[in-house]
Chain A
Amino acid sequence: MQADVVTLGTLGAQAESTKSVDMATRFHLRTWLWLLLLSPVVLLLFCAVLPELFQLHDPQHQNLRARLLPPWSTSSDGFHPFGTDSLGRDLYSQMVEGTRLTLTIAVVATAIGGTLGVLVGLISGYFGGWLDRFLSRLSEAQTAMPMFLVAILLLSLLGPSVTILLIVLPTLLWPIFARVVRAESMRLKESLFIEAAIAVGCSPMRLLRSHMLPNIAPRILVLAVIEVGHVMLAEAGLSFLGVGVQPPDVTWGLLIAGGRPLLAVAWWLTILPGVLLAMTVLIFNLFGRQFERFSGAAG
């Protein structure tokens, strides 16, 4: 990072107008602002890996004399920054506990769906023909289907579990990746370096892996960052409706659902986990958009 800043600074100084110096400083400031935005994500990662480090209480510890305490209160157990639930469990510690499963499901589901979508997109974009027509129709049909409803049906038929969720969420996801990658690889296929690679006898596998994929990777990454946020929302929605993650597992969506019956007496149980979820998704969204703008400006 430091090296980048220095280069940019000297570049600005070498330029004749002072305007470019301003630009460089602004870029510098912007970068740091964006890195600042990254810090909550790092914090969340730490929460997911080592929840004990951040928890004030055991998230499952019940204390019936400290039920439904509002945020910022103290009980015989100690301090409760976000209050307690109907069994006297500390909400803050539960939210920290829920980070792991929430992030894991979102990232793994995005990885599975993304990989599938990228494979389909590469194949149908590069080879074309009947394979492309078939795969495109498949993803089109799926986009036209109310997949969220089919997911509810599937989850209620098979009995909701994290494993089923990791099958259902990627099926919602892959057409988005497939469409982008297909368009990109169709565009790339026409470029000179691909023609050259074919001319020197590159096998299709090698071509796709070493020449196409690295060129599409930035787009995929941007998309994946945005989609992680969307998957979080989908998982929370399914869990909220009772067909997603089941207790005693903890995710943010489940915490929101758990607080719903007590909405009139204990707003914090519903609102605070939702704030955390919304802010996390917002950060992913802002990041994705910023990356998009950045790579768009570069390309």
Chain B
Amino acid sequence: MRWFNRGSSSVDGKEPQLETAPDFPSRQPIMGVVVRRVRDGAITLLIVVTVIFTLAHVVGNPAIAYAPIDASDEEVALIEHQFGLDRPFTVRYFEYLGDLATGDFGESNWQKRPALDAVREAVPATIQLTLAGILVAGLFGSVGGLLAGISPNSLFDRVTNFFSVAALSVPNFWLGLLLIVVFAVNLGWFPTSGRYGWSSIVLPAATLGIVHGGRIFQLVRSATVEEISKPYVVVARSKGFSMPVVVGRHVLRNTGLTMATTVGWEYVRMWGGAAFAIEYVFAWPGIGLLMINGANRQDFFVLQSAVIVAGAFVILSNLVIDLFYNLIDRRINSAG
């Protein structure tokens, strides 16, 4: 627990140089890190909201989007006045922020109900799909990457490496369509789309898993290759330990953190867009499908709520991963 008191260790004035001792790098107290990350996350969320507001109110005009296509200028002006769109931008901006803070994300003119409700209903489906996807990706990516990394340039390494690059080069939505053609249309093993029972999640999760597993594979592999070339591995090997023992006891402890963080980043990346295209392909009733349908119906409020909810999720996940990494990192530092 020494690290816990490190922030105040110089209070007694006896060993101020401890803060910069090379073998024990100085660290800020954990609460400071938490506060800074939360602040950064909040700023990013504010930027997202501001960008959306700017797009909607400065670049576009909501009144024109709301009015019938053949509306005259006077009618548009009337709508502008009714919705208070003729007031200054700053007034509207702060009013907008107030609305969002109180949970008013606007009314969906497609579903005739609060847009946030529609998004809230879609969230569980997206979480289910992304979790299943990251399970597949994490399993294949980290196991494959580890096995390829401990024997660099072997046949296995070359073959799997090529396939992982190929997985990264394939458009994810197209891969989904390919799986539908092979496994749903021709073999009939799984349903083509929808969300009914366990069998319908297999294909979308596999699609997500393949594409994201490719990237996890790459990162885990290079981390393993780097770790395996360190002197301690040679020493352990020369002491007579077999490779599986060395990897299990020593290498994995060092690369495990990288693996966990990589899987975390990939999960966030799914929420940043990839999962949504897959949802559209498989008609999986999550946020992505809702968003695309909203986009095709010009339903701004649904779109806006979906982007803000997904954005908040991405930012929050980034925060959690960052803090997790920071915590683990500390423990390693204080132990060593």
Contacts and interface: CB of A to CB of B under 8 A. Distances in A.
Interface in A256-288: 256, 260, 263-264, 267, 270-271, 274, 277-279, 281-282, 284-286
Contacts of A282: 165-166, 169
Given A271-B178, A278-B166, 15 more contacts: A145-B44, A147-B272, A150-B51, A157-B65, A233-B169, A236-B174, A237-B171, A237-B277, A240-B173, A260-B177, A270-B174, A270-B178, A274-B177, A274-B178, A289-B165
Interface in A210-265: 229, 233, 236-237, 240-243, 253, 256, 260, 263-264
A284 to B, nearest CB: 8
Contacts of B311: 145-146, 149-150
Contacts of B274: 148
Contacts of B168: 285
Interface in B298-314: 298, 300, 303-304, 306-307, 310-311, 314
B107 to A, nearest CB: 18
B52 interface: yes
A285 B272 contact: no
A279 B98 CA distance: 49
The A interface, classified by DSSP as helix, strand, loop or mixed, is helix
A145 B43 CA distance: 11
Nearest to A270: B177
A266 to B, nearest CB: 10
Contacts of B165: 282, 285-286, 289
A282 B169 CA distance: 5
A263 B171 contact: no
B31 interface: no
A154 B181 contact: no
A278 B185 contact: no
Contacts of A145: 44, 47-48, 51, 311, 314-315
Contacts, number: 142
A171 to B, nearest CB: 10
Nearest to B170: A278
Contacts of A284: 169
A141 B43 contact: yes
B55 interface: yes
A153 B172 CA distance: 20
Interface string B282-297: 0000000001100110
Interface residues of B, number: 51
Contacts of A158: 55, 59-60
B256 to A, nearest CB: 25
A146 B307 contact: yes
Contact of B181 (A144, A148, A267): A267
A146 B303 contact: no
Contact of A271 (B172, B177, B192): B177
30 contacts: A141-B43, A144-B41, A145-B44, A145-B314, A146-B307, A147-B273, A148-B272, A149-B306, A149-B311, A150-B51, A157-B65, A158-B55, A229-B169, A236-B171, A236-B174, A237-B172, A237-B173, A237-B277, A240-B171, A241-B277, A242-B296, A253-B171, A263-B177, A263-B180, A270-B174, A270-B178, A274-B170, A278-B170, A279-B169, A282-B166
